Structure 1
Amino acid sequence: MIKPDLLKCFIAAADTGSFTAAGRLLGKHLATISGNVARLEDELGVQLFNREGKYPQLTEAGLNLYDGAKVVVDSMERFTRNAAHLTEGIPARFCFAVHEDINFQVFAPLIKQAQQRWPHMKIKVSQQSASAIFSAVREHKVDLAFTPSLEGNSQFYEFQAIGHCHVYIVCGKHHPLANKKSVSNDDLMSYTQVLSIDIDDKGPLYTTTVMSPSLCYVNGHTNLVQLVKAGVGWAMVFSVEEEIDSNLKVLSPEFLQTNITVQYDLIWQKNRPLNDVQKFFQNRIKALITNEKN
């Protein structure tokens, strides 16, 4: 079996154009590079470099084998790195859940950063209702979740208060409310309110959130926004970001004296210390929300 070190010397010599430069690149002596390349040639039974000139030149066989050598070395390095991560306690699989009423777009870069940092790890991302998230964490189906605070339920999970999300009252640009300079409670009651399914008539948010007798329920932030854009009605939207979709009109009703916010937590399994992946998300989400506040 050909050793990866021989292939690394071959690749370095091909990339740098000389055995001396390859030695500097790999931190090895010239004699080691030259000897390893010669040994590789012997094992393969082909000449990889033409050494007649001042600098070694790849032969046709060398050119033909170069890409394959890169694939082998890259695969071996990835295998070794992944094995090291597993040894260090990095999980092979990570499940992250976000409350379905939140705009997920702001979290997408964090997923990309995690995937680049731990390429071996299979990442599963979902958006669910608060009740579904709590159940999934309790049943160890979710490793970390971003969800509204729910008092009196923390005996089932560990949590950290992570910050507040903004709540905006919005309508579509062509909705009748969009042209009003002043919006009263009666105005809001006169039009359909688009509401998250997660806010049911038995939950604590119902009495503080529902204002119109005409309701249209929908699941998920994206679906809610689409209905509002289509002119179905007005809605309260939750967002980590301070900017709202340009196709929405932010309303300032008379009753609204201060900005509305909702406390959000990060939650995870009870009596489980956070691993490095969970800490990675914890730190970045906290920084993200703090930056939005600042």
Structure 2
Amino acid sequence: MPTNEQRRATAKRKLERQLEHRAERERKRRQYTIIGSAVGGVLVVAAVVATIVLVNRDSGTETASASTSTTETSSPFDVPPPAEAGTLPEFVAPEGLGGNCQYPEAEPASKPNNAPRTGKVPTEPAQVSASMETDQGNIGLQLDNGKSPCTVNSFASLAQQGYFANTPCHRLTTSDSLGVLQCGDPTGEGTGGPGYQFDNEYPTDQYQPDDPKLGEPVVYPRGTLAMANAGPGTNGSQFFLVYKDSQLPPQYTVFGTIDETGLETLDKIAEAGVDGGGPDGAPKLPVTVKNIQLD
């Protein structure tokens, strides 16, 4: 029969293992990058597509959402999106738009910066011009301040502080249903952020929180600029540029559009493909954001 001391030692080891497992799960959750692509030969209906989750860059394991029965280790390539998807909803200004922007602290910032101003932010002008200079060409942006003012407020603040200067675009997706270039992470690993988070805006704010349509893909059209996230209320600095019509749940804040010159730059990057082949990973043609400036 074990002694009291042996029982205490066993219990201590069990507790330590539980804490280690919990910490590992939390580490993986934080390290999920942002947009889960979906390609493959398995036919599923829209009802089983719940959310899009992210890619664990440390392990190299692709992780995606799907039905409520999908585990965090399932692959996005196992669960393709429906063959058809709806369109982004028509914008109707929600009550209090831009009236109380909040940016609570999150993990330590990947690059020094000051959080943007909180509270009420302007929604005019409705459009704010910006220029994203990369070593592969310039990308002109129109920031949609009239639809997503809290997001534009954060993006503009980071840009003006030089947060995006000399940072990589770490992820290119080239699947049939998803074509995006993801940038905004100083670490280049898909895990970094500015040290704060904030809530989704358009198109998420066009739905009730419990609306099942939030889990059904819609088309983010070519030329869309949107925020990457790891779930509701986790927007930070990472964003993605859509170079071809892409299917995603309406849970990624659209905050601007890309001009024709920018789309030509993105097409060149996409044409070169993914480093090492495949539909998802670091772009074969390395892309560095030299700077983002408001015009």
Q: Does the pair score TM above 0.5?
A: no
Bin for the TM-score computed over the shorter chain? under 0.3
Return the index of the structure with the highest Cα Rg: 1
More helix by share: 1
TM-score by length of 1: 0.24
TM-score by length of 2: 0.24
